[in-house]
Chains A and B, each alone.
Chain A
Amino acid sequence: MIRFSHVHKEYPRTGVALNDVSFAVNRGEFVFLTGPSGAGKSSILKLIYMDELPTKGDVMVSGTHSTGVKRKAISLLRRKLGVVFQDFRLLEDRSVEANVAFALEVIGTPREKIRPKVARLLTQVGLASKATNVPRELSGGEQQRVAIARALVNDPFVLVADEPTGNLDDRATRGVFQLLREINAAGTAVVMATHNLELVKRENLRVLEINRGQVVYDSNDDKGRAPELTP
């Protein structure tokens, strides 16, 4: 589903961010990306939704290769995956349901299909009662649920989450993580970058540890513990 082959990423002013990264994520997998700040986690996620393209090597996502990819193909790829961030990225002057509907409208979904879909998604993330509120009337955890609902509008095969619980307290973190597990259980792969090592330790899920632009540990290859997770 997702395959990084000898991916190098160099940014114009900051230099090398990823150095020969190779890994694959299979259908329905749940993968944590861990590692210190600046390790390259966000860079990997950006390469997945092709916000950035590799300097060298190839990224393949759902059959789309980064090598020689057209802008249009990137747009179409993004309709097959969902992305959420630490800062939610909601439209502040629109209601919860308008925020979710927006993602469907801008890819030309027929109007009559939008309403029922939005209602279903808001029920799924437990926000049906807040549909007409605006984001600032919601808690952080609730706002992240809206963002997740928006990421799910196209029934993506993978949900890419960059520190989705980074701005949340423990309770909200547990709630949002539980939601991600449910989504994963329903068949959507999840790739989640996080600094929350307790969460990672608690769950028996795949871990990719990144350090200085390289994959230093993959729990799929090694049944021992990740360097970062070793006490």
Chain B
Amino acid sequence: MSLALREAMIGFRRAPMLSVLSITTIAFSLFAFGLFSLVAINLRSALQQVESRVEIRGFLEEGVSAEAVADAMQVIGSYPEVARVEYVSPEQALERAREELKEFRDVFEAGFLPGSLDIRLREGSRDPVKVAEVAQRIRGFNFVNDVRFGAEWIQKLYTIRNIATAAGIILGLAFAAVAVIIISATIRMAVMARAREISIMRLVGATDGFIRRPFLIEGFIKGVLGGGLALLLTWIASLVISKYFIQTEFFAPSLAMLGLLGGAVIGVAGSALSVGRQIRQVS
């Protein structure tokens, strides 16, 4: 192992530009992935905040009986998606509106606002589909005039998040493929740089597996360095965005480790892809 490591280091020394090229391509592929992932995780946490406030509000017809309301609350409360149902009387609604919109408090008059049932959903049932579904059921009560929920813009946020995730994955994969190809191409040159060693290894009876090992280690090290560089770039990007645009959160340490792992996978895969073929060219 330490021998393979030493030979890998010799590889770096013999072809420094090649190594820099490999590391940079890995870094950029993961940086592209990282940026979109950053958008995705930030949207995700924004969504979680929004979702926790999601409420469905069913506005009640004037003069509906307290009994009917109580029955409806019972039924709605038994839906598996529903965390809590609350009755807001017209008086409370008025009070609340005056509270929230102080500037307009005199505009609101008694009887101006209808009573409502405010429904809060359980965690895990707050995605747009479920919300719309529950809202539909609420609409089914004949004394419910209208149902409101933040459907549209939740839907929009979700869409943006999905697009960001997909774009990140597609771009990341595309860049990763490019990185793998570039690395496997550089292996050819790396093998040439060590042709002497390889032919001697052959001659004295080293196995192909053994001859391959330094190149895989080289790929691993380049991958981890590339992953580290990508993390650094993404981190700088998140600082810049936080400073000039909006507060963004960075990857959790475990996710950041995944970046290094991704680099290692790209580095080793790229090397493994062509090293076998290349070392066979050396006699």
Contacts of A83 in B (CB 8 A): 203
B107 CB within 8 Å of chain A: no
Q: Bound state CA distance, A102 and B206, in angstroms? A: 10
Of the candidates B3, B196, B199, B205, which one forms a contact with A76 in the assembled complex, judged by CB atoms under 8 Å apart? B205
Contacts of B133 in A (CB 8 A): none
Contacts of A79 in B (CB 8 A): 204-205
Query: B199's closest neighbor in chain A, by CB?
Result: A89
A-B contact count (CB 8 A): 51
A52 CB, nearest partner CB in chain B, Å: 9
B197 CB within 8 Å of chain A: yes
Of the candidates A72, A80, A106, A154, which one forms a contact with B3 in the assembled complex, judged by CB atoms under 8 Å apart? A106
Q: Are A91 and B200 in contact (CB under 8 A)?
A: yes
Interface size class of B (residues with CB under 8 A): 10 to 19
Instruction: Name the residue among B197, B204, B208 with the largest chain A CB count within 10 angstroms.
Output: B204
Q: Are B210 and A103 in contact (CB under 8 A)?
A: no
Contacts of B170 in A (CB 8 A): none
Q: Are B210 and A108 in contact (CB under 8 A)?
A: yes
Q: Are B199 and A107 in contact (CB under 8 A)?
A: no
A51 CB within 8 Å of chain B: yes
Q: Are B205 and A77 in contact (CB under 8 A)?
A: yes
Per-position contact with B for A53-93: 1 when CB-CB < 8 Å, else 0? 00000000000000000011001111110010000010110
Q: Are A102 and B200 in contact (CB under 8 A)?
A: yes
Q: Are B200 and A103 in contact (CB under 8 A)?
A: yes
B201 CB within 8 Å of chain A: yes
Instruction: Name the residue among A71, A92, A102, A153 with the largest chain B CB count within 10 angstroms.
Output: A102
Q: Bound state CA distance, A79 and B204, in angstroms? A: 6
Q: Are A103 and B204 in contact (CB under 8 A)?
A: yes
Known: A83-B203, A154-B205. 17 other contacts (CB 8 A): A49-B203, A51-B202, A72-B207, A75-B205, A75-B206, A75-B208, A78-B202, A78-B204, A92-B196, A102-B200, A106-B200, A106-B204, A106-B206, A106-B211, A107-B205, A108-B210, A154-B204
B residues sitting closer than 8 Å to A (CB atoms) are 3, 196-197, 199-208, 210-211, 283
A sample of 18 cross-chain residue pairs with beta-carbon separation below 8 angstroms, ordered by A number, consists of A71-B208, A72-B207, A72-B208, A75-B202, A78-B202, A78-B203, A78-B204, A89-B203, A91-B196, A103-B200, A105-B3, A106-B204, A107-B204, A107-B205, A107-B210, A153-B204, A154-B204, A154-B205
